[in-house]
Amino acid sequence: MDGVQTERPPAEIYDEKFVPALFAQWGPIVSRAACVAPGQAVLDVACGTGALTLAAAAIVGQAGRVTGLDVNPDMLAVARRKTRDIDWREGRAEQLPFDDASFDAVVSQFGFMFFEDRPRALVEIMRVLKPGGRMAVAVCSAVEGSPGYAAFANLLDRLFGEKIGNAFRAPFVLGDAGELRRIAEAAGIEGASVEEQNGTVRFRSIAELVATERACVWTLGGVLDDEQFDRLLRESERALRPFADGTGTVSFDMPALILMARKPD
C-alpha cells in the first residue's frame, strides 16, 4: 500500500489524506454560499478536523468568532492541534449546545448525510441563526456524477457484491436536490434553494486512493479483509487507469449539492 497505515487513528488519516484530496477546496465555497463576512459569528456543524472551520475563520478575521462542533472527540483532538483561536466544541447537530440567535452564519460540509435526524438538525441550525442569518449545508452529489468513484463503486459491486458497493456509496445518499428540498420543508424552512458546484478528487496514486478508503471507518474500514483489499488494489489499477495521468496522479470530478437558506428577519 502507498503510505497509509490502517492502525493509525482514523481522524489522523482523514485529516492527512481525505482533507487535501477532497475536502479542503470546499471551505471557501461553502463559506461564500453562506455569505460569511468579516466580523461575523460563524458555526461549523460536523466540523471534523476543521477544513471548513479554518476557511471561515480566515474570512471573519480577528473581529469575528468561529465555533466548530463535532460529535467525534478524535476529530476535535486533531482540530485543536491546528489552532486555539477557534472554539472547538463536542456535540450533536440535532441538539446544538448554543442559545437562540447566536450566529450570523451556520455552515456544514459533508456531514449532513450521516446525521441521525436531518430535519431536526436543520431546525436546530435555524434556531441558532440570528434573524437574517444564512446557512449553507454541502453534501456529496450523486455518485454517478463522480466518474472515478462511480467506477470504484461498480468495481466493488462486481468483486464483492452490492452490499459492499453500497457501503462505499453511503456518503452519496443525499445526492438529489429534490430530496434536500423535502428535508428542508420537513424542517419548516421556506425558500430553501439547492445549487450544484463541482470539485475535484485528487490522490497521488491509485494505491493511495484504495489505501485511504481502506482506512475509512465510515465506508470500507473493517468491511474487507487483507486478501480482499489486495484483490481490490489489483483490480483498481485497471478500473481507475483512465483517471490517472503520466505521473500516476488520479483525479476526477466530484460535484456537491449545497442547501442554502436565510432566516427571516
Report which residue type is found at 94.
E
Size of the chain in residues: 265
Average pLDDT over residues 184-203: 97
Average pLDDT for the chain:
94
Q: Where are the beta strands (DSSP E) in 141-249?
A: 193-203
For residue 208, give every residue at least 6 positions away whose Cβ sits within 8 Å of its Cβ, in sequence order, or none.
2, 3, 4, 17, 250
- Tell me: pLDDT of 243 over 90: yes
Is-contact 5 70, C-beta < 8 A? no
In DSSP terms, which residues pair with 68 in a beta bridge? 44, 88
Is-contact 112 175, C-beta < 8 A? no
- Tell me: pLDDT of 8 over 90: no
The pLDDT of residue 41: 98
In DSSP terms, which residues pair with 134 in a beta bridge? 105, 262
- Tell me: pLDDT of 2 over 80: no
Is-contact 195 258, C-beta < 8 A? yes
Q: Domain 10-262, CATH 3.40.630.10 — does that match?
A: no
Q: How many helices (H) and strands (E) would you count in the chain?
A: 10, 7
> Parallel, antiparallel, or unpaired for β 103-109 and 41-45?
parallel
Could you tell me the pLDDT band of residue 3, with boundaries at 50, 70 and 90?
Answer: very low
Q: What is the rounded CA–CA span in Å between residue 140 and residue 169?
A: 10
Helix (H, G, I), strand (E, B) or coil at 263: coil
Cell numbers for 149: 468513484
Could you tell me the pLDDT band of residue 220, with boundaries at 50, 70 and 90?
Answer: confident
In this structure, what DSSP letter does residue 115 have?
-
In DSSP terms, which residues pair with 43 in a beta bridge? 67, 106
What does the H/E/C string look like for 120-151? HHHHHHHHHEEEEEEEEEEEECCHHHCHHHHH
User: If you compute the radius of gyration of the chain from its CA atoms, what whole number of angstroms results?
Assistant: 19
pLDDT tens string 11-53: 998 899 999 999 999 999 999 999 999 999 999 999 999 999 9
The pLDDT of residue 9: 82
Domain boundaries defined on the chain: 10-262
Q: At what angle do helices 26-33 and 51-60 cross, to 10 degrees?
A: 60
The whole-model pTM stands at: 0.93
For residue 132, give every residue at least 6 positions away whose Cβ sits within 8 Å of its Cβ, in sequence order, or none.
262, 263, 264, 265
Count CA atoms closer than 13 A to 61's CA, side-chain side: 4
